[in-house]
């Protein structure tokens, strides 16, 4: 009986302390400011413009609407929304005509890594199939 009570006390204690610890962690700057840190990322063999085209088409095919597109010659940031998800994608032009695609999909405040990976994979597939068709 004592072990059950001690386990319950420990559980209550952890439930009270964990939210406070998470808040202190994020305020102290220890939390990563980049939300894309744990999303999906892949380097594709295409320059920035075709990679942007492929990402936009993959978003549309998955039912997302493009809300914002910012960037310059070195990279782009795309933001899109779906029914219950928000998407942020960063495109970074690399040397040799390659592009780094990083995607994060958020469902409410949870990250949906599977959807992020699907967006990146679909964009890569579109690039591959388009280059093969054009060749």
Q: Tell me the pLDDT tens digit for each residue of 63-122.
A: 999 999 998 878 999 999 998 899 999 999 999 989 999 999 998 888 889 999 999 999
90 and 59 in a single domain? The answer is yes
Q: Write down the pLDDT at residue 17.
A: 53
| Tokens found for residue 14 | 């952890």
* Claim to verify: residue 122 and residue 74 sit in the same structural domain: yes
pLDDT score, position 28: 42
Q: How many structural domains compose the chain? A: 2
How does DSSP classify residue 41?
E
pLDDT of 6 strictly over 80 = no
Cα separation of the two ends of the chain? 74
pTM above 0.85, yes or no: no
What's residue 132's pLDDT? Answer: 55
Rounded to 10 deg, the angle between the 113-134 and 48-61 helix axes is 120
Q: Do 26 and 75 reside in the same domain of the chain? A: no
Query: How many angstroms separate the CA atoms of 27 and 4, rounded?
Result: 35
């Amino acid at each position: 009986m004592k072990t059950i009570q001690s386990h319950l006390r420990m559980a209550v204690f952890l439930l009270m302390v964990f939210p406070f610890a998470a808040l202190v962690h994020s305020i102290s700057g220890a939390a990563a400011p980049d939300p894309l840190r744990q999303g999906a990322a892949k380097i594709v063999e295409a320059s920035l413009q075709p990679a942007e085209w492929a990402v936009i088409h993959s978003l549309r095919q998955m039912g997302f609407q493009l809300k914002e597109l910012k960037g310059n010659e070195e990279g782009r940031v795309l933001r899109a929304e779906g029914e219950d998800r928000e998407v942020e994608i960063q495109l970074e032009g690399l040397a040799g005509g390659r592009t780094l695609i990083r995607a994060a999909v958020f469902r409410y405040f949870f990250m949906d890594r599977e959807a992020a990976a699907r967006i990146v994979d679909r964009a890569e597939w579109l690039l591959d199939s388009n280059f093969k068709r054009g060749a």
